[in-house]
Copies of this chain bind each other. A is one copy, B any other.
Amino acid sequence: MLPEQQSRLAVVLVRARNPYNIGAVARAMHDFGFSDLRVVNDYPVPFEAARSAVHASAVLNRATQPSTLAGAVADCTLVLGTTAVGDRVLEHPLYTLAHAVPRVQAHLDAYPGSKVALLFGSEKTGLSNAELSHCHALVTIPMNTHTAERHLSMNLGQAAAVCLYAIAQSEAVPTPPQPPPASSGDLERLTVLLQEVFDRSGYARRNPGHARELNVRRIVRRMTASHEDAAVWSGILRQILHALPSTPATDL
């Protein structure tokens, strides 16, 4: 992967608890040439402890601490969540790491200036369903499946090292630039508008399952809209909201 493309891959740690692990992720990023670390937590992360990890400082000094996951990925046009799968019901496309890497490469090749986010959840629980609803697809590292034991997750620092090694190894493919895709910020604005339309139109009352926030967020991610189309859709939804009566429709 070209250095310029590596600078467009953000690693997002969601509810990582152990400063040693945050330091290990930063070190792996530094080792493989990545620099954009975003740490989303309910409390300020003690980066001082993480900085004790050798070679992690350069990345940690640049790390940001967005207050929400939506904010952390707002500028990204492809959001991939890592998961150990397990018994979770999946509502997203799922790729092994080896199959995800060419998709990341193709996205960075096709959309100049675009950003890709790679999400890692907390050491104990991974990414929650609410967190996964911000993702376009999931990535899993194939592990030992020959043992009877169900082994559900890797160490965070090791999982990050394996993913970043595989991505850094990927070769750029010359590709004609494509129209810019919608960012997560674009899609989240659409999600909020669509949810309001569902509420105000009475759709939410009739179809409470489809209208739940996570489902709305996921259906919008599955649209794979361009940035321009997302703006058009926003205008359509705003006009619909303008035209709807201000109180929710009641059933006849």
Contact = CB atoms under 8 A, between A and B. Distances in A.
Interface in A155-211: 155, 157-159, 161-162, 165-166, 168-169
Contacts of A32: 143-144
Copies of this chain present in the complex amount to: 2
A163 to B, nearest CB: 9
B158 A24 contact: yes
**Which interface residue of A28, A30, A145, A155 has the most chain B CB atoms within 10 A?**
A155
A57 to B, nearest CB: 11
A159 B32 CA distance: 12
B30 A151 contact: yes
A169 to B, nearest CB: 6
A4 to B, nearest CB: 10
14 contacts: A3-B146, A27-B155, A27-B158, A28-B154, A30-B144, A31-B154, A31-B158, A33-B146, A55-B151, A98-B169, A141-B165, A157-B157, A159-B161, A161-B162
A239 interface: no
A151 B31 contact: yes
Contacts of A247: none
**A-side interface size class:** 20 to 34
Contact of A158 (B6, B28, B142): B28
A146 B5 CA distance: 12
Nearest to A123: B54
A147 interface: yes
Interface in A57-102: 98
A34 to B, nearest CB: 8
Contacts of A165: 141, 162, 165-166
A27 to B, nearest CB: 6
Nearest to A27: B155
Nearest to A7: B146
A243 B151 CA distance: 61
Nearest to A165: B162
Interface string A123-142: 00000000000000000011
Contacts of A166: 165
Contacts of A157: 155, 157-158
Given A53-B155, A155-B161, A162-B162, 6 more contacts: A24-B155, A33-B144, A33-B145, A144-B168, A154-B161, A159-B161
